[in-house]
Structure 1
Amino acid sequence: MHPVRVALTVEQCWQPVPGGSGSYVVELSRALAAVPQAEVVGLAARHRAGPPADVTPTGPVRFAALPRQALYESWNRLRLPRAESVTGDVDVVHATTWAVPGSRAPLVVTVHDLAFLREPDHFTARGNAFFRRALRVVEDEAVRVVVPSAATRDDCVAHGIEAERVRVVPHGVHADPGAAQRVDRWRRHHGVRRPYLLWCGTLEPRKNVARLVRAYAQACASDGLDHDLVLVGPAGWGDGASQVREALRGLPADSVHMLGRLGSADLQAAYAGASAFVFPSLWEGFGLPVLEAMAHGVPVVTSKGTSMAELVGQDGVLVDPTDVEELASGLVHAVGSDAGPRLRAASERYTWSASAQGHLEVYREALGTS
Structure 2
Amino acid sequence: MRIQRLMLSADAVGGVWTYALELATGLAEQGIEVLVAVLGPPPAPEQCAAAERVAGLTLRHGDFPLEWMQDAVPEQAAAGEWLLALAREWKPDVVHLNHYGHGHLEWPAPALVVAHSCVGSWFECVRGEPAGPEWEGYRRLLARGLQGAPMVIAPTQAMLDATQRLYGPFRASRVIHNGRRAADFPAGDKAPHILSAGRLWDEAKNVGTLARIAGELPWPVRVAGDTAHPEGGDAAFEGVHLLGRLDPAAMARAYAQASIYALPARYEPFGLSALEAALAGCALVLGDIASLRELWNGAAVFVPPDDGAALAQALRGLIEDAPRRDELARRAHERALGYDSARMVARYLQTYSELVRPPEAA
Structures share fold, TM-score greater than 0.5: yes
Q: CA deviation at 1:316?
A: 0.6
Decide whether aligned partners of structure 1 residues 207 and 27 sit closer, same or farther in structure 2, where only a CA change above 3 A counts: same
Kindly provide the amino acid, as one letter, of the partner of residue 251 in structure 2.
L
Residue 339 of structure 1 is aligned with which of 311, 328, 335?
328
Q: Secondary structure at the match of 1:289?
A: helix
| Residue number in structure 2 paired with 1:216 | 214
Q: Secondary structure at the match of 1:171?
A: coil
User: Is the 2:266–2:289 contact (alpha carbons within 8 Å) kept by the matching residues of 1?
Assistant: no
- Between stretches 95-104 and 268-277, larger displacement belongs to 95-104
| Residue number in structure 2 paired with 1:201 | 198
Q: Distance in 2 between matches of 1:276 and 1:62?
A: 36
Q: Distance in 2 between matches of 1:214 and 1:43?
A: 39
| Residue number in structure 2 paired with 1:161 | 168
Q: Distance in 1 between matches of 2:334 and 2:51?
A: 29
Q: CA deviation at 1:61?
A: 2.0
Q: CA deviation at 1:74?
A: 7.5
Kindly provide the amino acid, as one letter, of the partner of residue 94 in structure 1.
H
Decide whether aligned partners of structure 1 residues 40 and 48 sit closer, same or farther in structure 2, where only a CA change above 3 A counts: closer
Residue 108 of structure 2 is aligned with which of 101, 104, 107?
104
| Residue number in structure 2 paired with 1:149 | 156
| TM, length-normalised to structure 2 | 0.80
| Residue number in structure 2 paired with 1:234 | 226
Q: Secondary structure at the match of 1:364?
A: helix
Could you list the runs of 5+ residues in structure 1 that have no partner in the other structure?
Answer: 185-193
Could you list the runs of 5+ residues in structure 2 that have no partner in the other structure?
Answer: none
Matched, 1:292 2:276: yes
Matched, 1:67 2:63: yes
Q: Secondary structure at the match of 1:132?
A: helix
Please list, as runs of the form range in 1=range in 2, the aligned pairs for 1:21-60 lying within 5 A after superposition. 21-36=16-31, 38-44=32-38, 51-53=45-47, 55-56=50-51, 58=54, 59-60=56-57
Q: Secondary structure at the match of 2:255?
A: helix
Please list, as runs of the form range in 1=range in 2, the aligned pairs for 1:259-298 lying within 5 A after superposition. 259-298=243-282
Q: Distance in 2 between matches of 1:320 and 1:239?
A: 30
Q: What per-residue deviation string (whole Å, max 9, x for no partner) do you get for residues 78-126 of structure 1?
A: 6424155554322321112346474232221111123534417879999
Q: What per-residue deviation string (whole Å, max 9, x for no partner) do you get for residues 171-196 of structure 1?
A: 11234578555x69xxxxxxxxx721
Q: What per-residue deviation string (whole Å, max 9, x for no partner) do you get for residues 277-296 of structure 1?
A: 00011111101111111111
Decide whether aligned partners of structure 1 residues 76 and 4 sit closer, same or farther in structure 2, where only a CA change above 3 A counts: same
User: Is the 1:235–1:260 contact (alpha carbons within 8 Å) kept by the matching residues of 2?
Assistant: yes
Q: Distance in 2 between matches of 1:177 and 1:117?
A: 31
Kindly provide the amino acid, as one letter, of the partner of residue 109 in structure 2.
A
Q: Secondary structure at the match of 1:119?
A: helix
Q: Distance in 2 between matches of 1:161 and 1:141?
A: 10
Kindly provide the amino acid, as one letter, of the partner of residue 68 in structure 1.
F
Q: CA deviation at 1:157?
A: 2.7
Residue 303 of structure 1 is aligned with which of 287, 296, 300?
287
Decide whether aligned partners of structure 1 residues 23 and 275 sit closer, same or farther in structure 2, where only a CA change above 3 A counts: same
Residue 91 of structure 2 is aligned with which of 89, 108, 112?
89
Q: Secondary structure at the match of 1:302?
A: strand
Q: Secondary structure at the match of 2:7?
A: strand
User: Is the 2:36–2:59 contact (alpha carbons within 8 Å) kept by the matching residues of 1?
Assistant: yes
Q: Secondary structure at the match of 2:151?
A: strand
Residue 139 of structure 2 is aligned with which of 132, 136, 151?
132
| Residue number in structure 1 paired with 2:81 | 80
Q: Distance in 1 between matches of 2:153 and 2:140?
A: 18
Q: Secondary structure at the match of 2:81?
A: coil
Q: CA deviation at 1:202?
A: 0.7
User: Is the 1:277–1:301 contact (alpha carbons within 8 Å) kept by the matching residues of 2?
Assistant: yes
Q: Distance in 2 between matches of 1:320 and 1:94?
A: 35
Q: CA deviation at 1:215?
A: 2.6
Q: Distance in 1 between matches of 2:112 and 2:198?
A: 27
Of all paired residues, the percent bearing the same amino acid is: 25
User: Is the 1:7–1:87 contact (alpha carbons within 8 Å) kept by the matching residues of 2?
Assistant: no
| Residue number in structure 2 paired with 1:7 | 7
Q: Distance in 2 between matches of 1:61 and 1:125?
A: 38
Q: What per-residue deviation string (whole Å, max 9, x for no partner) do you get for residues 177-232 of structure 1?
A: 78555x69xxxxxxxxx721100101122211111111323xx2xxxx31000010
The number of aligned residues is 338
Decide whether aligned partners of structure 1 residues 347 and 47 sit closer, same or farther in structure 2, where only a CA change above 3 A counts: closer
Q: Distance in 1 between matches of 2:170 and 2:244?
A: 39
Matched, 1:116 2:132: no
Kindly provide the amino acid, as one letter, of the partner of residue 18 in structure 2.
S
